[in-house]
Amino acid sequence: MTSKNILRPARLKPGDKVGIAAPASHFDMENYNSGVHVLESMGFYVSVSDDIFDRNRYFAGSDVHRANLLNKLFADSSIKAIVCARGGYGSIRILPLLDYNIIRNNPKIFVGFSDVSAILSAIYTKCGLVAFHGPMVTTLSDASQKTKESMTATCFSDTRLEITIEKSIVLRHGSASGIVSGGNLATLCHLTGTLFEPCFKDHILFLEDRRESVYKIDRMLTQMKMAGCFDGIVGLVTGLFEDCGEMKEVFSVIDNIFKDEDIPILAGLEAGHGRNNITIPFGITATLDSDKHLLSFHEVATA
């Protein structure tokens, strides 16, 4: 897939209706309510269905229930964007139940991260729709100003996104261009060998995670490498790997896994788990210049 035939969702305007999806775990109501207020303060009209408050074990309702809610949100023409309530676990379970024809025929902004990386990957891979790796409702409750400004800039702006990765660490010097894709390492690793396994050939891959031991990060990267997941990638940019031990050890593992790849590698993008969570569009071509600490997109993510 090239960015030339990618589906770009419509750009948002102040007052547009945003729907809330709950594709994974159930969530804390205090954080949820606070996050809804944040979305409203950002200029959105928030539409909430009572269906998202269901609980089934550790999920926000049954698999069918969660999938149906997401399908309905995509089918509803009055909804201009969808923001997930929370990650946790469960997104991978509903992938076979999503209606990709409905999603493809009703392109709109879909935002989430962590466990929701499974859905981001699926709608980009199956539908060719730009997906947005960014904050969720419960994480917006105490989000930094930088996080909120990045989300609004990406969803409302008609300018190309340029991300200067401050305090980053260059693991491999160089510059390369490709379509940006990726997400949470553990979630993407669990897609390996399934019908929803993504292809990262000719892509700039973004990876991040939280609370995973260094040896587990090593194991997941090794599995994906042995499965051929990284064949043909043109660049790698990583998040901060919050609460994963000594960062120098994590970066050492990454450097070792990709030691045979002649690609630029830059570590330290503030996206995913962490105080700052920059919104990144997946499916758009960008240039990663590790020497300039810059990820610059060639096109706008919305239409």
**Does residue 302 fall inside a structural domain?**
no
**Does residue 215 fall inside a structural domain?**
yes
How high is the pLDDT of residue 1? 53
C-alpha distances out from residue 301 to 82, 290, 291, Å: 15, 22, 25
**Does residue 185 fall inside a structural domain?**
yes
Q: Which domain holds residue 7?
A: 3-156
Q: Which of 133, 203, 273, 293 is catalytic?
A: 273
3-state secondary structure of 242: strand
Same domain for 58 and 150? yes
Last-in-domain residue among 109, 136, 156: 156
Q: Which of 208, 212, 270, 290 is catalytic?
A: 208
Q: Which of 114, 150, 168, 181 is catalytic?
A: 114
Instruction: Indicate the length of the chain as a whole number.
Output: 303
Same domain for 134 and 172? no
Same domain for 148 and 184? no
How high is the pLDDT of residue 167? 85
CA angle 165, 190, 21 (to 5 degrees): 75
Same domain for 99 and 231? no
How high is the pLDDT of residue 51? 87
Q: Identify whether 242 is a catalytic site residue.
A: no
State both tokens at 107: 């392109």
The residue type found at 166 is E
How high is the pLDDT of residue 3? 61
Last-in-domain residue among 110, 126, 156: 156
C-alpha distances out from residue 195 to 110, 173, 233, 282, Å: 21, 34, 20, 20
Q: Return averaged pLDDT per consecutive 10 residues of the chain, 303 residues in all.
A: 79 95 96 96 92 94 98 97 97 98 98 98 97 97 94 91 92 97 98 97 97 97 98 96 92 95 96 94 97 96 95
Q: Identify whether 298 is a catalytic site residue.
A: no
Instruction: Kindly provide the residue ranges of all beta strands, DSSP E only, lying in the chain, ordered along the sequence.
Output: 17-21, 45-47, 81-84, 109-112, 131-133, 162-164, 169-172, 175-184, 203-208, 235-238, 265-267, 280-282, 285-289, 294-297
Same domain for 179 and 215? yes
Same domain for 173 and 270? yes
Last-in-domain residue among 100, 125, 156: 156
CATH classification at residue 92? 3.40.50.10740
User: Considering Cα of 187, then 191, then 192, then 196, what sign does the dihedral take?
Assistant: negative
**Alpha carbons 275 and 188: distance in angstroms, whole number:** 22
Query: How many domains, the chain?
Result: 2
Same domain for 36 and 120? yes
**Does residue 303 fall inside a structural domain?**
no
**Does residue 242 fall inside a structural domain?**
yes
Same domain for 101 and 220? no
**Does residue 93 fall inside a structural domain?**
yes
DSSP state of 16: -
Q: Identify whether 114 is a catalytic site residue.
A: yes
**Does residue 167 fall inside a structural domain?**
yes
Same domain for 172 and 91? no
How high is the pLDDT of residue 170? 96
Same domain for 150 and 191? no
**Alpha carbons 8 and 225: distance in angstroms, whole number:** 30
How high is the pLDDT of residue 2? 57
State both tokens at 299: 């096109």
Write out 198-238 in H/E/C secondary structure.
CCCCCEEEEEECECCCHHHHHHHHHHHHHCCCCCCCCEEEE
CB atoms closer than 10 angstroms to residue 176: 18
**Does residue 262 fall inside a structural domain?**
yes
C-alpha distances out from residue 194 to 1, 184, 233, 256, 299, Å: 19, 16, 20, 26, 31
Same domain for 9 and 139? yes
Same domain for 152 and 167? no
**Alpha carbons 299 and 105: distance in angstroms, whole number:** 22
